[in-house]
């Protein structure tokens, strides 16, 4: 018998997929951790589960309680699924720039959704800060606080990292991923470096994010913007502190779009925008390192969450992008 225990028992243990068209073109093994196959549809199911179970273990989240979070969408979707499975309420603050598909999913799941204008972190009305205040004002509620709650990266240190190590039989040479909270990048980097300090850990960064300049020069500088959602940051979160980072690669939107359409048309993989940044960076890294290396990245979520945007020719044309 091989039966998973409900939604919660189905999170994690995702396949590692050889991205054939990109591997064949570069002579490297470019492998994608298939996080879009988690039961809530994204990499964030792992963090959502760890955050909720950590709060339960500490006695902070009690029966009938409410989980409050500020999220670009995927964490909220993961939390909302788990709240339904465990009998909690869920309140989600989300920037109104995020895709309609993610907003709709949150409402279908029964979360209370508060869309707010997308303003920078320094603004007190920023979605993350507002979610913290709402959690403090709500009775019997916890703030998931994914950016600075270390249960987030612990999920990836305990599960994603070991899975990648085992699935590659320890042959992984490099790990590259974009960061939102940094939980995925940090947890996997910390675990892989402990197994083999020679493994290269590389941050993939979209335009408009400050991490590329921070890693290259020590200074957070931002310029431009990106059509991707859920990645990039203008501050170092607690999850990203004291994490071994060897390098950073910046990927622009035209490259991102080219990558996700190649994945769709040549590999049969229908992926979200952050996957374009991740795989675009993995290809650049393959070119830097030369043939014969094994490079692992993340397939964070699926294209179904962005059909009205990245897979809508009219929307793309408005942004000056072509598939």
Nearer to ligand PMP, 101 or 246 (CB): 101
What radius of gyration do the chain's Cα atoms show? Answer: 19
Contact 222, 208 (CB under 8 A): yes
Nearer to ligand PMP, 65 or 191 (CB): 191
Nearer to ligand PMP, 45 or 267 (CB): 45
Shortest Å distance, C-beta 135 to ligand PMP: 18
Give how far the C-alpha of residue 14 lies from the chain's centroid of Cα atoms, to the nearest Å. 15
Binding site for ligand PMP (CB under 6 A): 42-44, 72, 74, 178-185, 229-231, 272, 274, 300-301
Shortest Å distance, C-beta 87 to ligand PMP: 25
Contact 89, 66 (CB under 8 A): yes
Residue 35 sits at the vertex; the CA angle it makes with 176 and 7, to the nearest 5 degrees, is 150
Shortest Å distance, C-beta 294 to ligand PMP: 21
Shortest Å distance, C-beta 133 to ligand PMP: 21
Shortest Å distance, C-beta 317 to ligand PMP: 23
Nearer to ligand PMP, 43 or 91 (CB): 43
Catalytic residues: 44
Contact 272, 288 (CB under 8 A): no
Distance CA 139, CA 213 (A): 41
Contact 282, 203 (CB under 8 A): no
Q: What strand order describes the sheet that includes 66-70?
A: 112-116, 89-95, 66-70, 141-143
Token pair listed for 191: 């675990």
Q: Which residues of 184-215 are buried (b: 16+ CB within 10 A; e: fewer)?
A: bbbbbbbbbbeeeeebbbbbbbbbbbbbbbbb
Nearer to ligand PMP, 46 or 89 (CB): 46
Nearer to ligand PMP, 65 or 76 (CB): 76
Element (H, E) at 31: strand 29-33
Greatest Cα pair distance in the chain:
56
Shortest Å distance, C-beta 259 to ligand PMP: 14
């Amino acid at each position: 018998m091989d039966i998973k225990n409900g939604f919660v028992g189905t999170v994690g243990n995702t396949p590692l997929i050889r991205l054939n068209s990109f591997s064949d073109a570069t002579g490297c093994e470019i492998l994608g951790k298939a996080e879009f196959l988690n039961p809530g549809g994204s990499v964030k199911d792992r963090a959502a589960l760890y955050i909720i179970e950590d709060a339960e273990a500490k006695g902070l989240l009690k029966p009938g309680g409410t989980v409050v979070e500020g999220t670009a969408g995927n964490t909220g979707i993961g939390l909302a699924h788990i709240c339904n499975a465990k009998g909690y309420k869920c309140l989600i603050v989300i920037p109104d720039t995020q895709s309609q598909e993610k907003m709709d999913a949150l409402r279908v799941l029964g979360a209370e959704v508060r869309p707010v204008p997308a303003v920078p972190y320094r603004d007190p009305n920023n979605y993350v800060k507002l979610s913290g205040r709402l959690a403090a004002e709500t009775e019997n509620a916890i703030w998931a606080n994914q950016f600075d709650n270390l249960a987030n990266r612990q999920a990836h240190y305990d599960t994603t990292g070991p899975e990648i190590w085992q699935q590659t039989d320890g042959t992984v040479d490099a790990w590259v991923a974009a960061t939102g909270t940094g939980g995925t990048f940090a947890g996997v980097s910390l675990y892989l470096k402990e197994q083999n300090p020679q493994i290269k850990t590389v941050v993939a960064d979209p335009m408009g994010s400050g991490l590329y300049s921070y890693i290259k020069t020590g200074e957070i500088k931002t310029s431009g913007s990106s059509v991707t959602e859920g990645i990039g940051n203008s501050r170092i979160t607690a999850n990203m502190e004291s994490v071994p980072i060897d390098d950073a690669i910046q990927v622009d939107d035209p490259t991102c779009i080219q990558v996700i359409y190649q994945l769709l048309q040549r590999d049969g993989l229908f992926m979200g925008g952050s996957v374009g940044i991740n795989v675009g960076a993995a290809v650049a890294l393959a070119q830097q390192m030369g043939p014969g290396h094994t490079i692992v990245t993340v397939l964070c979520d699926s294209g179904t969450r962005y059909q009205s945007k990245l897979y809508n020719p009219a929307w793309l044309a408005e942004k000056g992008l072509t598939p």
